[in-house]
Structure 1
């Protein structure tokens, strides 16, 4: 019980300092090292069996940090850096803006404001396949779809909520979160993303779209929200229309080459993204009339994106791994399992518990990554102890982290969209909370129905 209390106290401290604005990676890393040292003082083994001890408690704690840097930086971290670099490159050469503009055109023909709201939400969800950043996508939508929606008679809070919501449900099979989840589930990426996550995601999006229709219509009438009409300004796009295919190349590559779709040709996600970057550079080279200087200069944005990913995502992933190892080493997880056994908690109850913890952390921190990366480390161990399928626990956590961010008044996407709409962040959260709750319930039910509970 002492170990459980230690883990809970440090976990609460982690949440407190992240909410206060401290760097999430730094807080998790500090807490993780502290837990490893405490575990050693309590007589527990600091390092896993696969890592050789240095012979000293303090240096063993740092040895695990080195192990995580090698393990995550060169494997999973490289995948994330390549994908983020590709996304930055697509934004820099204007391909993402072309996608946004082309998806926006059909919306101008829809006359009913609330039908438009649903259509805009679905189109925005499809855009999340090309723009992985929730905040970046929200800002793009505010610059494009928001004026169109308000011009069609949708209230500003409802339109801002649509722009803030598309990243609440994960669709892209190549997003960093999905890659992490697939690895922890022990499933190939295409099997996990396409055959397990995608059906649940599609069901949740449909339910959230219906909920958004009725909830926003109810609030507009209840609050007598004013409907403004604004001029739709043309979006400036400097790239040609055929650039719209470029952001989708990694996704197409996953479907074509990351499996047995084409016999005799199998490419892993690393090669698929490198091929996508290369093809993008070739298209950019031809478009710029064989101007190699411009093409190579544009590629710098890819390298910068990879560097930003290491700083913002990979280090967070490493820190979360150290924190999770600290919780497990100190005995917190074993104590939780013992309590769950005494309470008679089964696989479904454990899934609900982990999902609730992930949502709460996402709301408190405003981050969709930090809570998921922290808690996903625990899922395989918990699943193994109870004989559960890791995917049964991880899929709801994966979606819950992004859903929780969408109802957090301190998240980047809510702050950005409300600021551009010139309304209070809580007005946006008020519009997203019911669709998010409906989406979360759908994810839980979908996982229970579609994903086997036991191995």
Structure 2
């Protein structure tokens, strides 16, 4: 329990200093290093299996920072930088203004920005079927839908929350979490994903959409949040109308190439964004009547956007990753598992306990995968002891891990979307917390009603 207490104290301290205005990246990095060093002194392994030890616990902590820099820059960090560069490029060449101008006309009959917010949230949830990564999807939506949402009168915190939320509820029947959950539940994938998880997910998404409508409206009014709706007549558009398709090229590319839509041709998100930038440059070159110098100068905006993304978003992700590793290394998650194992509760009470612990671990670590993969190993064993159906315990845990990540100020998706929106992670969490709580309650009720408790 000492490790759990240490983790709790340092987590509270992190929240305190970030609220006080300290730079989040620095706070998370210092806290993560402290946790890793304390883990080493307490006899725990500091580094994950994928990272070789340096032979000293102090330098092992620094070795993990190096690993996170390499890992983030080569994976998610590169994706974020590419998409931020793309978004900056689209703004620079005037494509985003064309989109706002074109879409404002058919949407002008919708007077409430909160109705538009709900519509954007539903579209974003459908996008989660194509993009499995919560952070990747959030960044993609920030680069494409966010400028349009704010221009249509949705406040920046509300728009960022929409981009951060679609992966809070699992829809895809082929995501890694669902496959693992089906296996541990002892059910065929199609039965588990389509007949049990999907109905609960749809109900939760509807409830969260309604909650987002009223909660964001309340917060905007309470805080007098600036609404940035643009007067269509004041939008300066220098680019031709066909530029409106350019900002959506990454989304179109995901649906066309990130799978087997076109037989024999599969592109990952990185190549799709690079292709989108290239197409944008070619269109810009042709539109400028083959002015190569101007086209290359416009591309400089893309490179500058990538650099800003590294400074403002990727380093935050690195720091959050170090903090999460510190919590896991010191044994805070293992202590939570021990609490669940000792609980001598009935079926519903045990399900609620496991769900609560999963949410707590997801909030603390900022990860949706790590807490679920840790706790899901325990669920079948506890279910057998009490004669329960494993699916009854696992389905709420599966959804709770993703919901918890959506209200964690250190999660990748919250850090990335808040960084791109240039607002505090806590401002985004404030917008997501009520819809997430409503979604979690819906998941629990849906599980009790739709999933048999006993095997």
Under a length normalisation based on structure 1, what TM-score does the superposition of the two structures give? 0.63
How many pairs align? 455
CA contact (8 A) 2:181 2:376 kept: yes
1:399, 1:64 → 2: CA distance? 30
CA contact (8 A) 1:174 1:250 kept: no
1:309, 1:274 → 2: CA distance? 16
CA contact (8 A) 2:258 2:267 kept: yes
Q: What do you get for the CA RMSD once the two structures are aligned?
A: 7.9
Comparing 303-312 with 170-179, greater Cα deviation is found at 170-179
CA contact (8 A) 2:144 2:248 kept: no
Comparing 192-201 with 95-104, greater Cα deviation is found at 192-201
Q: What does the per-residue CA deviation read over 1:62-116, in whole Å, with 9 as the maximum and x for residues that have no partner?
A: 1111112112221222122112211221222222222222222123345899978
1:305, 1:15 → 2: CA distance? 29
Indicate the residue corresponding to 1:270 in structure 2.
Answer: 270
Comparing 185-194 with 441-450, greater Cα deviation is found at 185-194
Comparing 77-86 with 48-57, greater Cα deviation is found at 48-57
Matched, 1:303 2:303: yes
Tell me the CA shift for residue 250 of structure 1.
1.2
Tell me the CA shift for residue 170 of structure 1.
11
CA contact (8 A) 1:354 1:397 kept: yes
CA contact (8 A) 2:93 2:239 kept: yes
CA contact (8 A) 2:169 2:399 kept: yes
Tell me the CA shift for residue 13 of structure 1.
0.9
Comparing 121-130 with 200-209, greater Cα deviation is found at 121-130
CA contact (8 A) 2:340 2:353 kept: no
Tell me the CA shift for residue 52 of structure 1.
2.2
Flag the 1:72–1:159 CA change in 2: closer, same or farther, 3 A.
closer
Give ranges in structure 2 of 5+ residues lacking alignment.
none
Flag the 1:451–1:161 CA change in 2: closer, same or farther, 3 A.
same
Comparing 350-359 with 283-292, greater Cα deviation is found at 350-359
CA contact (8 A) 2:165 2:432 kept: yes
Q: What does the per-residue CA deviation read over 1:358-388, in whole Å, with 9 as the maximum and x for residues that have no partner?
A: 9999999999999999999999999999999
Indicate the residue corresponding to 2:407 in structure 1.
Answer: 407
CA contact (8 A) 1:19 1:365 kept: no
Under a length normalisation based on structure 2, what TM-score does the superposition of the two structures give? 0.63
CA contact (8 A) 1:96 1:131 kept: no
Comparing 118-127 with 199-208, greater Cα deviation is found at 118-127
Flag the 1:199–1:24 CA change in 2: closer, same or farther, 3 A.
farther
Flag the 1:147–1:8 CA change in 2: closer, same or farther, 3 A.
closer
Flag the 1:147–1:16 CA change in 2: closer, same or farther, 3 A.
closer
Flag the 1:147–1:363 CA change in 2: closer, same or farther, 3 A.
same
Flag the 1:419–1:269 CA change in 2: closer, same or farther, 3 A.
closer
2:325, 2:403 → 1: CA distance? 26
Flag the 1:308–1:158 CA change in 2: closer, same or farther, 3 A.
closer
Indicate the residue corresponding to 2:390 in structure 1.
Answer: 390
Give ranges in structure 1 of 5+ residues lacking alignment.
none
Q: What does the per-residue CA deviation read over 1:245-294, in whole Å, with 9 as the maximum and x for residues that have no partner?
A: 11111111111111111111111121111111100111111112211122
CA contact (8 A) 1:154 1:228 kept: yes
Tell me the CA shift for residue 118 of structure 1.
6.5
Tell me the CA shift for residue 50 of structure 1.
2.9
